[in-house]
Every structure is written in C-alpha cells, then in structure tokens.
Structure 1
Amino acid sequence: MIGYLNLTLRLAIWFLLTSDLSPANIFIGIAVCFLLPGLHKTPSALTDWLRVFWEIIIAVPQAYWEALQMMVSPHVQEEVTLERVKPRRTPGLIFLDIFLITFTPKTIVLKYHEDGWYEVHKIKRG
C-alpha cells in the first residue's frame, strides 16, 4: 500500500512539473517514477501518511492567517532554529514535511541535515 503512495506522490510531482496530461506524458511519468531509486526500500506506516496529509489540510487556513498577520503588523525579528525530524521518516514523508514547513509564509526550511534535523528560518513580530 505504501509503495502506491510513494508512486502517487512521485507521479503528482511529475504532473505538477510538466503541466501536461497527454497520454505520452503519463506514460513517461509512470516510467520515470518506477526508474527512480528507493521506491520499495524504506517501509512506512499508512498512519504516518494520513497524518501528514491531515497536517497539510490544516496548513492551508494557517497559511492564510499568517499572511494576513504579516500584512497587518510588521514582522521584523528573524531566527534560525533546528527542528528534529520525526522518527521513521521515509524520503517521501521527509519531502512532505519540508513542503509543510515551507508552505506557511512565516517559515522556510533552509537545509535538511542527514543526521535528522531541519534548519528552519522563522520570522516573528517585533
């Protein structure tokens, strides 16, 4: 089941990058998804995937709220923090975590450290 989620994530990214749903592009996208390494190497739980998708749904209104806050009051303080990667994360889940952090306007992931840390840049009110 999880292999299908990884494949679906890769295919969705392919379609977002190419913006083409022609039969030839679909075939090429499926071929590329299968040729990329690491599809079945790292097991992950379905609950981890569902939790990340739920967090993405929650992040949409949060992103609008943060954008409104930034327009109303200035945010002049900056800080760079290290956040721990959640345990048992596959590369697909790490990608979605980075997407989730970067999706909101006040935070962006600067770097992913291989030893299990995200370097996150945050802005705050003055």
Structure 2
Amino acid sequence: MILSIILRLTIWFLLTSDLSLINIIIGILIAFLLPQNPPERQSIKDWIHLLGELFISIVQAYKEAIEIIIFPHAYEGLTVQRVPPNRSKYLIFLDVFLITFTPKTIVLKYNEEGWFTIHRILRKKTP
C-alpha cells in the first residue's frame, strides 16, 4: 500500500514537474483516490535492483539526448525483450516506464506471454 502511494506520487511529480504545495496536495489526493489493487508480493531485492536500473536509465537518458543532438538518427527498428519472470504489475509498469524514459526507445506493446515490443531509433541501419 505504501509503495503504491509512493509510486503514484513519484509518477505525479515526474509528470507535472511541480513541487508547489497545491500540486503536492493534489498528488496525494489522486494517489489515494485511484483504485487500489490487492498487494502482490515482490522481494526487496527486486525493488532495489529496479532502483539501480532507474539511476542507470537517468544517466543513459542524458547520454542518449546528447547523442541525438550531435549525431543524426535516421533509422528505426523494432526489438522484442523478455520480461523477467514472476514480475508484479507494478514492476512491469516500472520496466515499461524505464524503457520509455530514455529518448531512443519506447514500449509499443506488452504481450501477456511476457514480452515487450520496443521501438528504437538508430544511428545506422542494421542488417
């Protein structure tokens, strides 16, 4: 429950980019008013690993943004990536968020069988 509220607030603050008192109050209200799902068990190890991936993706996002500015990216491609097994809905959502957070990638589809379809922009055409 608490992790769900923190996740919702974090997403709210990332979307609004506003830490004013009124926005914090609105974010808290929205976080509590959204429907709650029954809790799913996930290990702390998975959450810590995901936080590490978040830090890496922030650095990667800045690196990719600079690459896009300096070097043109004229090509695009689709890739398929496997979702780690036994992921809760929250962790799958965060995986999608982290992939889409970087400027060169976006998740197009999540397959219930455990696959993401990812669109990437590329500097060079791949065979």
- Is it true that 1:100 corresponds to 2:102 in the alignment? no
Distance 1:95 1:5 in 2: 13
Q: 1:111 maps to what in 2?
A: 109
Q: 1:125 aligned to 2:123?
A: yes
Q: Hey, what does 1:39 align to over in structure 2? A: 38
Q: Any conservation in 2 of the 1:7–1:39 contact (CA below 8 Å)?
A: no
Cα offset for 1:69? 1.0
Distance across 2 between alignment mates of 1:95 and 1:108: 13
SS of the residue corresponding to residue 108 of structure 1 reads strand
Q: Which runs of 5+ in 2 are unaligned?
A: none
Give the alignment's TM-score, normalised by structure 1.
0.80
Question: Per the alignment, do residues 44 and 69 of structure 1 end up closer, same or farther by CA in structure 2, a change over 3 Å counting?
Answer: same
Q: CA RMSD in A?
A: 2.1
- Per-residue CA deviation, residues 51-84 of structure 1 (Å, 9 max, x unaligned), is 1111111111111111111111111121111111
Given that 1:107 and 1:122 are in contact with CA atoms closer than 8 Å, whether structure 2 keeps it comes out as yes
Match of 1:58 in 2: 56
Distance 1:31 1:77, change over 3 A: closer
SS in structure 2 at match of 1:21: helix
Residues 32 and 121 from structure 1, CA distance in 2 versus in 1: closer, same or farther, beyond 3 angstroms? same
Count of aligned pairs: 119
| Structure 1, unaligned runs of 5 or more | none
TM-score (norm 2): 0.80
Aligned mates of 2:67, 2:29 — CA distance in 1? 43
* Contact 2:99/2:106 (<8 A) preserved: yes
| Structure 2 residue aligned with 1:21 | 24
Moved over 6 A (4+): none
Q: Give the direction of change, closer, same or farther, for the CA distance of 1:15–1:32 in structure 2 (3 Å limit).
A: farther
For residues 28 and 49 of structure 1, the distance between their equivalents in structure 2, rounded to whole angstroms, comes to 25
